[in-house]
Amino acid sequence: MAIEYLCKACRGHLTVNNFLVLAATKINSSKRGLIFLNPELGNYTKTTHPSFSIEKGAEYLYTCPICHSQLNSVKYPHLVRVIMEDEKGKEFDIYFSGIAGEKCTYQLTDVGVVKKGPDAGKYDRYFDVPDEDKKYL
């Protein structure tokens, strides 16, 4: 069983032919299209149709291509959430930046947050556990 990505709303499979496929719309713009992301955490290569170029620094709304639910997090501004299912069927929340060019990924696990990418420090504060709570971990 390979790593799968699921929509947080409909649990539809978002991985097709080894790409994580999402629909993206540039905020305050009519520019939208499909985006093919590398499913490997920390790999930020992406592919789009030539008519839909991703503008670095612009924020995008990501939606599920199956149910059209918005995947941008309400809890964590500028981050987008999908569910990852590993080879053993274990599920993790994955967050990545909805701002093009920002390279950061957060994988929430039972034992803490696995952070990837050169910009991971940018949203660190969302996932930092206050020192007084660490004794409960």
- Around Cβ 47, how many Cβ atoms within 10 Å? 12
CB of 3 to Zn ion, least distance (A): 18
- Report 5-24 residues binding Zn ion (CB under 5 A): 7, 9-10, 12
86: left (phi > 0), else alpha (psi -120 to 50), else beta? beta
User: Is residue 108 within a helix (H) or strand (E), and if so which, with residue range?
Assistant: strand 105-109
| Minimum CB–partner distance for residue 122 and Zn ion (Å) | 27
Residue 68 CB, shortest distance to Zn ion, in Å, is 7
Of 66 and 114, nearer to Zn ion (C-beta) is 66
Range list of H helices, 39-123: none
Stretch that binds Zn ion, among 1-9, 39-47, 78-86, 129-137 (CB under 5 A): 1-9
CB 93 within 8 A of CB 83: yes
| Count of residues in contact with Zn ion, rule CB under 5 A | 8
The least CB distance from residue 83 to Zn ion, in Å, is: 10
Instruction: Report the distance separating Cα 12 and Cα 105, nearest Å.
Output: 21
What one-character DSSP code corresponds to residue 54?
Answer: P
Q: Give the nearer residue to Zn ion in terms of CB position, either 64 or 120.
A: 64
Q: What mask of x and - would describe binding to Zn ion in positions 61 to 90, judged by CB under 5 A?
A: ---x-xx-x---------------------
CA 70 to chain centre: 12
Site residues, Zn ion (CB under 5 A): 7, 9-10, 12, 64, 66-67, 69
